[in-house]
């Protein structure tokens, strides 16, 4: 029983319009609450210390045999408790007295033998079916459970008095497990006041239960285990159904019957008030050679669903069987999981708007050239043996109303060399998922399509030259082999793109340019390469404008290796690294700043001056090392001769000379000090110059204006010496503006221009180096002793 319910809900797609929601309480409360799932955990006892805010507790499929008050008393938010498929033998309902919110209690498939009558007044759903009660497990106290909507019971003996309690309850659904019934009253059963009645019929088919059902207020009946005599009881029951009754839904589970019986059942349903009729797990045992068919009288029936039908023999006209169904004058027909190999075209214009033949073995010839399905809006051919997309497309051209076509899970292919595809004009939703289609499928699509499901095919790219799909709003390309996010040039209206689980490494720029209309992009589980190109994509995830579905959990780097498994959300790369012109700018700016800093430092600390001094010092050192002083120094008596203007004598006498002669190793010839009487000043000067190793001129504006003329003469006569300016040392005491130097002093101008002078630094800190340099320039070992002077 539980199993057939399960398969019914799994195939939701096919039966969604008939689904009656029995268990809505579970799902509603599960959504807003805390769910603790301990099912199939091999538990012997109820776990201690469950979270106190648990609202849903699933303990099904364990080996729990006992329950104590302390097990649940602290779970005062508990709403749903599932204890089915355990070994509970005894239970006092007062253990739930502290669970004041408990609405749903499932104790089915245990070993309960006696019932406690404590009423849990908050309960809406109580399932006590498939237990081991000897008697009817109800007591009068149950009459106090006024909120009860669902009650499931196992019953072995039916006595009229046992059921009196039901007259107090306003049930939505009553489920009676009568499989092990051993004792029953004869004649009419008690009237069950419930909207929906579910009965698992006795294995012993001698008990005529169905025949004696009274269903005046019941809208839905679900009957399980119908075989042998019960088949005839059912036919009888259906034939007696009151035309004015309220029965709308009939569901039959686990049937074994002949074709003849099946037709009888359907025929009676045809003539009743029933609107939705479902048959699950039916075995048709004998198929006569000459099959009876249905008379299609006017009917209230809207939908017939058959699932898991098996035919016991194959020596019959299959065409007749198919025609029986295809000629039905109802709106919806579903035959699934039944191995049907074909379905014929209705012989007259059909009233079908919905057809579902999923999970069968239908081939391409289905509804070939079929002109009578003009009202059909939905066609589901999921999981069959369809193989040529061209043929299937041709089928739809005659279905003028077709909007929704599900061709998923077939073997469909389309090759470029095949015929053109033609599709029904009104097709808006097409499901081609789980086929073997390649990118050529884009040349075989309905032009007005709005929703296209192509997931799980073999598409590796989207060809450029395809028909424009201007109405397409949603496309699912998940689980294909795409290496790139496609552009949207051909899909102007696209709003939803699913490209999960492909091989997208990095989206193309075309995507960003053409896909601005997309609102939702699902692109998780792709092998992203976390490089510069991905930044725009990551920004999408962080700030839109389109929503990246499942961001950030499904988006991780695959390349480069050192970033594998890193979430895209946590991958950062700076703007500068990725932007070449920005990079160049930054490098240029840094270079400029560096040069600026260097220049500033040079000016601030006069570094060029130091460098110049150092250079001169090395030059002198080099020269003195190369010269052999003995050769030329035969008549040299002084290290240096100093010439200066009278006006600079203060500096010369108080600073220059004392500093040079400080350690007495330097001898200076001064024309005043070493004057030889009887010689003119110029002669004396020349004499001094000739006896000195070097001549030091202290240059200043004063000097240039007053003294220079003395030397012009000398320089003119001693060309040799003047050319060998090595012996000249010019000290620039004060800077000499060029205009001060008279035009005729060519020699001075040339010397100044060569900048071969030592500058007297104004800053004290530089004086040390100045002296070192000057000394180095005049330093020489003189052959004559000091006393000679
Ligand atoms: C297409 O069919 C598959 C199952 O075959 C289903 O999972 C998917 O949701 C369907 N797509 C649409 C849009 O209904």
pLDDT tens by residue, 433-480: 999 999 999 999 999 999 999 999 999 998 887 778 999 999 999 999
Confidence of residue 634 (pLDDT cuts 50, 70, 90): low
Is the pLDDT assigned to residue 18 strictly greater than 50? no
Q: Average pLDDT for residues 470-498, to the nearest whole number?
A: 91
Whole-model pTM: value is 0.70
CA of 453 to the centre of ligand 1 (A): 7
pLDDT at 660: 82
| 397-435 confidence digits (pLDDT tens) | 999 999 999 999 999 999 877 778 899 999 999 999 999
The residue whose CA is least distant from atom 10 of ligand 1 is 431
Lowest pLDDT segment from 155-159, 274-278, 396-400: 155-159
CA of 455 to the centre of ligand 1 (A): 9
DSSP 19-88: ---S-HHHHHHHHHSEEEE-TTS--SSPPSS--TTEEEEE--SS------HHHHTT-TT--EEE--SS--
pLDDT at 424: 92
The residue whose CA is least distant from atom 4 of ligand 1 is 408
Is the pLDDT assigned to residue 250 strictly greater than 80? yes
CA of 431 to the centre of ligand 1 (A): 6
Using the atom order of ligand 1, give the atom closest to the CA of residue 409: 5
CA of 454 to the centre of ligand 1 (A): 9
Find the Cα–Cα–Cα–Cα dihedral 336, 337, 339, 345, rounded to 10°: 10
Q: Say if CB 698 and CB 733 are below 8 A apart.
A: yes
Percent share of the chain, pLDDT over 70: 88
Ligand 1 pocket: which residues have CB below 6 Å? 382, 406, 408-409, 431, 433-434, 451, 453
| 377-396 confidence digits (pLDDT tens) | 999 999 999 999 999 999 99
| 546-599 confidence digits (pLDDT tens) | 889 988 899 999 988 888 888 988 888 887 778 777 778 888 999 999 998 888
Is the pLDDT assigned to residue 633 strictly greater than 80? no
The residue whose CA is least distant from atom 13 of ligand 1 is 453
Using the atom order of ligand 1, give the atom closest to the CA of residue 383: 5
Mutate to test the pocket of ligand 1, among 380, 408, 435, 450 (most ligand atoms within 8 A of CB): 408
Mutate to test the pocket of ligand 1, among 380, 453, 479 (most ligand atoms within 8 A of CB): 453
| 681-699 confidence digits (pLDDT tens) | 767 777 777 777 887 888 8
Q: Which of 686, 670, 668 is nearest to 774 (CA)?
A: 668
Mutate to test the pocket of ligand 1, among 379, 433, 479 (most ligand atoms within 8 A of CB): 433
pLDDT at 31: 45
| CA separation for the pair 276, 80 (Å, rounded) | 31
Confidence of residue 738 (pLDDT cuts 50, 70, 90): confident
| CA separation for the pair 531, 526 (Å, rounded) | 15
The residue whose CA is least distant from atom 5 of ligand 1 is 408
Alpha-carbon torsion (32, 38, 44, 50), positive or negative:
negative
CA of 359 to the centre of ligand 1 (A): 14
| Token output for 11 | 């195939």
pLDDT at 109: 95
Lowest pLDDT segment from 238-242, 420-424, 663-667, 780-784: 780-784
Confidence of residue 311 (pLDDT cuts 50, 70, 90): confident
CA of 410 to the centre of ligand 1 (A): 12
The runs of H, that is alpha helices, within 312-470 are: 318-326, 389-396
CA of 390 to the centre of ligand 1 (A): 21
Using the atom order of ligand 1, give the atom closest to the CA of residue 382: 5
Q: Which domains does the chain have, with CATH numbers?
A: 14-184 (3.80.10.10), 636-778 (3.40.50.10140)
The residue whose CA is least distant from atom 2 of ligand 1 is 408
pLDDT at 407: 97
Is the pLDDT assigned to residue 29 strictly greater than 70? no
| Token output for 675 | 């004057």
Using the atom order of ligand 1, give the atom closest to the CA of residue 451: 13
CA of 378 to the centre of ligand 1 (A): 14
| Token output for 454 | 């192509």
Is the pLDDT assigned to residue 16 strictly greater than 90? no
Using the atom order of ligand 1, give the atom closest to the CA of residue 434: 5
CA of 404 to the centre of ligand 1 (A): 12
Q: Average pLDDT for residues 114-130, to the nearest whole number?
A: 88
| Token output for 651 | 């500096």
pLDDT at 28: 35
CA of 408 to the centre of ligand 1 (A): 7
Query: Degrees (nearest 5) of the Cα angle 601, 606, 609?
Result: 140
Considering the chain, what is the average pLDDT of its residues? Answer: 83
CA of 370 to the centre of ligand 1 (A): 26
CA of 250 to the centre of ligand 1 (A): 28
pLDDT at 488: 86
Is the pLDDT assigned to residue 262 strictly greater than 80? yes
């Amino acid at each position: 029983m539980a199993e057939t319910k399960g398969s019914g809900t799994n195939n939701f797609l096919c039966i969604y319009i008939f689904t009656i929601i029995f268990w809505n309480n579970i799902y509603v409360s599960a959504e807003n609450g805390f769910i603790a799932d301990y099912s199939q955990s091999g538990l012997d006892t109820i776990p201690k210390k469950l979270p106190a805010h648990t609202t849903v507790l699933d303990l099904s499929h364990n080996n729990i045999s006992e329950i104590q008050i302390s097990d649940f008393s602290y779970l005062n938010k508990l709403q749903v408790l599932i204890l089915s498929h355990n070994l509970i033998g005894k239970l006092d309902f007062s253990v739930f007295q502290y669970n004041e919110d408990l609405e749903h209690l499932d104790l089915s498939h245990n070993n309960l033998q006696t019932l406690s009558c404590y009423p849990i007044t908050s309960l809406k759903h109580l399932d006590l079916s498939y237990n081991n009660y000897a008697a009817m497990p109800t007591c009068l106290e149950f009459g106090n459970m006024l909120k009860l909507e669902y009650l499931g019971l196992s019953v072995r003996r039916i006595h009229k008095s046992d059921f009196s309690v039901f007259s107090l309850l306003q049930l939505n659904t009553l489920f009676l497990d009568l499989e092990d019934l051993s004792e029953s009253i004869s004649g009419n059963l008690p009237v069950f006041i419930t909207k929906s009645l579910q009965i698992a019929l006795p294995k012993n088919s001698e008990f005529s239960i169905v025949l004696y059902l009274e269903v005046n207020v019941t809208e839905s009946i679900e009957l399980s285990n119908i075989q042998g005599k019960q088949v005839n009881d059912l036919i009888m029951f259906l034939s007696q159904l009151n035309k004015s009754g309220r029965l709308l839904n009939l569901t039959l589970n686990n049937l074994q019957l002949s074709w003849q019986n099946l037709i009888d059942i359907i025929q009676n349903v045809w003539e009743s008030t029933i609107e939705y009729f479902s048959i699950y797990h039916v075995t048709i045992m004998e198929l006569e050679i000459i099959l009876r068919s249905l008379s299609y009288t006017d009917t209230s029936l809207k939908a017939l669903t058959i699932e898991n039908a098996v035919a016991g023999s194959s020596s019959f006209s299959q065409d007749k069987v198919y025609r029986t169904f295809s000629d039905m004058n109802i709106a919806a027909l579903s035959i699934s999981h039944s191995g049907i190999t074909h379905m014929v075209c209705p012989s007259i214009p059909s009233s079908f708007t919905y057809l579902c033949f999923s999970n069968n073995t239908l081939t391409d010839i289905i509804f070939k050239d079929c002109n009578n399905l003009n009202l059909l809006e939905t066609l589901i051919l999921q999981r069959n043996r369809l193989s040529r997309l061209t043929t299937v497309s041709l089928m739809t051209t005659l279905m003028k109303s077709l909007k929704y076509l599900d061709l998923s899970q077939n073997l469909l292919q389309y090759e470029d060399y095949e015929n053109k595809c033609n599709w029904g004009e009104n097709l808006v939703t097409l499901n081609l998922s789980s086929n073997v289609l390649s990118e050529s499928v884009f040349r075989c699509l309905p032009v007005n399509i709005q929703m296209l499901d192509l997931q799980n095919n073999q598409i590796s790219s989207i060809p450029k030259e395809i028909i424009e799909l201007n109405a397409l709003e949603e496309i699912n390309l998940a689980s294909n082999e795409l290496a790139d996010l496609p552009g949207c040039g051909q899909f102007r209206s696209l709003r939803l793109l699913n490209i999960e689980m492909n091989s997208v490494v990095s989206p193309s720029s075309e995507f960003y340019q053409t896909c601005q209309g997309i609102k939702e992009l699902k692109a998780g589980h792709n092998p992203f390469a976390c490089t510069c190109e991905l930044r725009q994509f990551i920004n999408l995830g962080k700030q839109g404008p389109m929503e990246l579905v499942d961001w950030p959990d499904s988006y991780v780097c695959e390349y480069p290796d050192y970033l594998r498994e890193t979430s895209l959300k946590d991958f950062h790369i700076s703007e500068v690294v990725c932007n070449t012109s920005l990079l160049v700018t930054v490098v240029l700016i840094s270079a400029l700043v560096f040069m600026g800093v260097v220049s500033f430092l040079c000016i601030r600390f006069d570094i060029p001056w130091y460098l110049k001094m150092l250079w001169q010092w090395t030059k002198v050192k080099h020269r003195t090392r190369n010269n052999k002083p003995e050769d030329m120094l035969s008549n040299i008596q002084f290290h240096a001769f100093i010439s200066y203007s009278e006006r600079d004598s203060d500096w010369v006498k108080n600073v220059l000379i004392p500093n040079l002669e400080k350690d007495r190793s330097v001898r200076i010839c001064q024309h005043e000090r070493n004057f030889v009487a009887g010689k003119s000043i110029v002669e004396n000067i020349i004499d001094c110059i000739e006896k000195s190793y070097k001549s030091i001129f202290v240059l200043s504006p004063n000097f240039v204006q007053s003294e220079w003329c003395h030397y012009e003469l000398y320089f003119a006569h001693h060309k040799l010496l003047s050319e060998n300016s090595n012996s000249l040392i010019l000290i620039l005491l004060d800077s000499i503006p060029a205009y001060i130097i008279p035009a005729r002093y060519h020699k001075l101008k040339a010397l100044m221009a060569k900048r071969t002078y030592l500058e007297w630094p104004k800053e004290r800190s530089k004086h040390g180096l100045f002296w070192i340099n000057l000394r180095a320039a005049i330093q020489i070992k003189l052959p004559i002793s000091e006393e000679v002077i």
